[in-house]
Amino acid sequence: MSKDNKHTEENNALMANGHKASPKEKDSFISFIYNKREGTFLGRNGKSWVQIIVFYIIYYIFLGAFWLGCLAIFLSTIDKNLPRYYGKGTIIGANPGVGYQPWLKNNPESTLIKFNINDNTTYADYVGVLENYTMKYENETTTKLTKLCSGSESNSDIVKDGKLKEEGLKPCRFKLDVFKASGCSLENDFGFPDGKPCVILSLNRLIDWKPEDFADDVIPKEIAKRYKKGSIGFNCDGTYGPDKEYIGKIEYIPEAGIDGRFYPYAKMDNYHQPIAMVKFHNLPRNRVVLVECRAYAGNIEQDIETRQGLVHFELLVEDYEVSTPKTNGS
Partner 1 sequence: MSEKKKKREENLDELKKEITITEHEVPIEELYKSLDTNPEKGLDEQEASRRLVEYGPNQLTPPKNKPLWFKFIISLFEGFNILMWIGSVACFINFIIVAKRTAETVDYDTMWLGIILAAVVLITSIFTFYQERKSQHVMESFKKMIPPKVTVVRSQKMQQIDAVDLVIGDIVYLVFGDKVPADVRVIEANGFKVDNSSLTGENVAVRRTPEFTHKNPLETSNLVFFGTSVVEGNALGIVILTGDNTVMGRIAGLTSLVETNQTPIAKEIKHFIKMIGTVAISLGLLFLAISLYTKYKSGTLGEEWIDCIVFFIGIIVANVPEGILPTITVCLTLTAKRMSKKNCLVKNLEAVETLGSTSTICSDKTGTLTQNRMTVAHLWVNGKIFDSEVISEQPRNDSTERLLRCAALCSRAKFKNEDWNTPDSKRETIGDASEVAIMKFVNKQLQPVNVHELRERCRKINEIPFNSNEKYSVTIHRKENGQFLLLMKGAPERILHRCSTISIDGQTARINELVKDGYNVAYEYLGGRGERVLGFCEMELDPVKFPPNFKFDTDEPNFPLENLCFLGLISMIDPPRPGVPEAVRLCQSAGIQVVMVTGDHPITAKAIESCVSDSFSESARQVNIIGQPKVVHLISLETDELNLKQNEIKAIVVHGEWLNKLEESELDFIVHHYDQVVFARTSPAQKLKIVEAYQRAGRIVAVTGDGVNDAPALRKADIGIAMGITGTEVSKQAADMVLLDDNFASIVTGVEEGRLIFDNLKKSIAYTLTSNIPELAPFLTYITLGIPLPMSIRAILCIDLGTDILPAISFAYEPAESDIMDRPPRNPKRDRLVNWRLLFYSYLLIGVFQAIVGFSLYFWIMAEHGFPSYTLLNLKDVWEKRDLLVPDKYNRYWNYQDRMNLLGVCHGAFFYAIVCVQWADLLISKTRMNSIVTQGLENNVLNISLLFTTLLSTFFLFTPGVNSILKVGPIKLRWAMLPVLGMWQVFAFDEIRRAVIRKYPDGVVFHTTYY
Q: Which residues bind partner 1 (CB under 8 A)?
A: 3-18, 20, 22, 42-43, 48, 51-52, 55-56, 59-60, 63-64, 66-67, 70-71, 74-75, 78, 80-86, 91-93, 97, 99, 108-109, 111, 204-207, 265, 267, 271, 305-308, 312
Closest separation between CB of residue 323 and partner 1, Å? 27
Residues 6+ apart with CB under 8 A from 39: 45, 46
DSSP symbol at 262: G
**b/e for 220-256, b at 16 or more Cβ within 10 A?**
eeebeebbeebbbbbbbebbeeebeebbeebbbbbbb
Q: What is the Cα–Cα distance from 111 to 97, expressed in whole angstroms?
A: 16
**b/e for 19-31, b at 16 or more Cβ within 10 A?**
eeeeeeeeeeeee
Closest separation between CB of residue 142 and partner 1, Å? 14
C-alpha angle 63-68-72 in degrees, rounded to nearest 5: 155
Closest separation between CB of residue 238 and partner 1, Å? 15
Please answer whether residues 102 and 113 qualify as being in contact, where contact means their C-beta atoms are separated by less than 8 angstroms.
Answer: yes
**Identity of the residue, 52 or 181, whose beta carbon is nearer to partner 1 in the bound complex:** 52
Q: What is the Cα–Cα distance from 61 to 141, expressed in whole angstroms?
A: 46
Tallying the residues shown for the chain, one arrives at 330
Strands 159-160 and 163-164: antiparallel
Closest separation between CB of residue 315 and partner 1, Å? 15
Three-class DSSP category at 140: helix
Closest separation between CB of residue 9 and partner 1, Å? 5
**Identity of the residue, 25 or 216, whose beta carbon is nearer to partner 1 in the bound complex:** 25
Closest separation between CB of residue 151 and partner 1, Å? 27
**Identity of the residue, 70 or 181, whose beta carbon is nearer to partner 1 in the bound complex:** 70
Burial class (CB in 10 A: 0-12, 13-18, 19+), 9: exposed
**Identity of the residue, 101 or 185, whose beta carbon is nearer to partner 1 in the bound complex:** 101
**Identity of the residue, 11 or 328, whose beta carbon is nearer to partner 1 in the bound complex:** 11
**Identity of the residue, 226 or 312, whose beta carbon is nearer to partner 1 in the bound complex:** 312
Closest separation between CB of residue 170 and partner 1, Å? 17
**Identity of the residue, 15 or 218, whose beta carbon is nearer to partner 1 in the bound complex:** 15
